[in-house]
Structure 1
Amino acid sequence: MLRKQPYSCLRPRSLRVGVTLTEVLISIGILAVGLLGAAAMFPVGGYFMQKGEVADRGAAIAQAAFADLVARGALDPQNWRVWHGGAYATMDQFMQTGMADNRDQFGILDQIGMNSDTGFIYIIDPLGTAGALRGGAGALQLSRAPAVIPVNWAASTGNRWDQFNGAWPIRRLCTDSMMLGSSLPSESLAQSLYSSSDDLAIQTDDDESLPRRQRMVGADTNGDQTVDVAYRRESRGDYSWMAMVAPTQSEARLALALDPSAYYFDVSVVVFYKRPISSIGTSEVLVEGAIVSTGTGGGEILLDASDLPGTGSETAYDEFRQGQWVMVCGPHPSSTPAQPLFFSQWYRVLTIDDEPDGLNVGNATFDNDKTQRRVGLRGPDWPWKKSGSRVCVGLFPGAVAVHTKTMRLESSGAYEL
């Protein structure tokens, strides 16, 4: 006969009746950390999605805008208008006057004087011109791009800049179609022709159960504050553009006065996203630069905004971001007073370093985190190989895409009847 074993209080229980409050709190903390980490990914993902959409749409708009400029004749110098002497002049009059004023008694053209009078690179920017006018810009802002340049840029950049006689050689132009008989460009017309209608505006109703609707531009014929006769779909107007024409040789620049069709030019269409039109006179600035290194398709440049007038040195980099495009320019190494050549191309910003490291680049030292930036750029090959070569860099807030093509300009010629 088996005897029943007595119950021992030392034997551990095999069944578990629940969890403690401490375990619950730890589990909630772990779950909260995971949920917060997942939630933090949504705004970051949204930012990069928008950034990718802007880049993709900007590239497509750049190519479409290029074709539009050609079709409208905006790349024909006979349709250009230059702010000169307090009024707009046609391009052929402007160039021929410059040639006449800069010929000596032997009939030899003074190239340095021509650089000062007529410039070398030309930017077709009716929307920027009209916006600068509305923002209160003066004659200098109307005739040059960027609008704000360093106070002592000509004295501090080196002897090759002397060939341009202390005058900024990149000129901002308008087109004949923007005038409509007026002496000043029409901003509304420039907005309709130099901005994209692809970014459609969507209207949401107070009743969330209703679907979103496309906003329309049209007429309200019955006075109920709604469009009942639609003309076209409304766009937000966030994308706009301008074009830069850079002669590849001195003869090509001089040929703009007569017929440039025998010469090649680098034509770049620059697309902007939410460009600050009314503040162009203060936001688009030129900073000095020194070549740090040169590689295939770009390199590194040390930027210095210390010579900008007013508070420009403190605000020059406020809208400076990775991914935007900048204009790098300067005299070509082979430029001479007899055959001047000015180089200007657009580059995408890959890296921005604002932490001084004492790097010596020619006559410049990277030692000021307020006025200096060391940037890595990607784009066409530039001609400067020597470290420390002095250049200038134009900062245009909102530049998101550039389409460049080397081509001949279609021109009717100055003598067409």
Structure 2
Amino acid sequence: MLAFLQRVALSTGLSLSVSVTAAPQADPIRVGSVSTLTGPGSTVAWRAAKAYFDAVNAAGGVKGRRIEYEVLDDRADPQTARQAGMRLVNDPGVVALAGGSSVMECAVNHANYAQAGLMSIPGGGVDRFCFESPAIAPVNAGPYVSTANALTFARDVLKHERLCVVAPALPGMVEPFREAVERWSAARKAKPPAMDIYELAEPLDKVIRRVSLHGCHAVVYAGPDGPAIDWIKTARPAMPDADQVFLTSAYTNGVLRAVGSAGDGIFVLAEFEPWSGSSLQLLDWRRLMLNNNVEASSLSQGGYLAAQVLVKVMRGIDGPINRASVTKALQNMQPIANPLVDEPFVFGPGRQHQPHRSAIPMRLSEGRWRVFHPQWIRLSTAPVTTPAAGKSPPASSSHIPNGR
């Protein structure tokens, strides 16, 4: 445990002159989060963030001050999310938000956060306002960028021309998905993929019959893990010749257990260093998750990264750590690189933020998630160049995970 806390201290810039067992004496630094803890779309991102903050506290805190993490449950309900957000906004002791994840919290609270100068670093941004607000910068790529990356993967790596996009009609997400697909098609000068956005109450066999009429060579399914499981079980037998590509929400052990052999051959996009691998980059994250009984997933990676970014930024503040100083530090920060992601994280002063835009394609094979394509797929107008057989991709544009 001591060795792990030493690594945490080094990664966050903490001084090891502070005893790892001594509790900081100063008032705590208060960090908040609005997350879905119960109800549809409940998430583990906040638990990973809490585990990281707890480890930092055990190593002496930040400048002798422990982090007090307040997590509020939005229950997947807009009114509850608004009340939770305003509770944090109106509490001047809360310096920032970090590690949260919710299907609609950003949409409900983004304007209030911006007005109050309360910055948020979600561990898993979902709705479009997570990526279109001056006060919010998620560490993940999110569903819209990942949909575009999935189309790039299907076209450039799998070499498919006839592409389809399917998604459930989730509140606030229909138009962003359409816009993401339209932007991808325009940028690539490619034939627009056929799109089918269906109501969750609609029978899947009816949706599949409709999608099958397009003769899809590859289907990008842009829905969360629950509907994705139903789609895999139903669509794979009905469309055996179409490759099925899913977003990072389907890259979980829960999906693997639920679909069994029916999922063999599906693709998913890992937005961070593939958590199911064994690369050295995962060592500290995995040990922390195991010690705190947090599920290994992209969401727990996101919560961990969000907490780590905030700690590093706060550690670099010269003077009092409060809401105003943390906001200023985030807006003026230098990019922070991390081996779990392809691109450095930076918040900055912009009107909107999308610091992470990459993914690693994985494939489910013989009951295991395996790296399928060792290069990061990064949102871009340029086609992805697939390395020739026997050759490694150039180091300047690739990241090769060790655990394949």
TM-score bracket for the superposition, by shorter chain length: under 0.3
Quick check: which one's helix share is greater? Answer: 2
State TM-score, norm by structure 2: 0.27
State TM-score, norm by structure 1: 0.26
Structure label with greater radius of gyration: 1
Quick check: which one's strand share is greater? Answer: 1
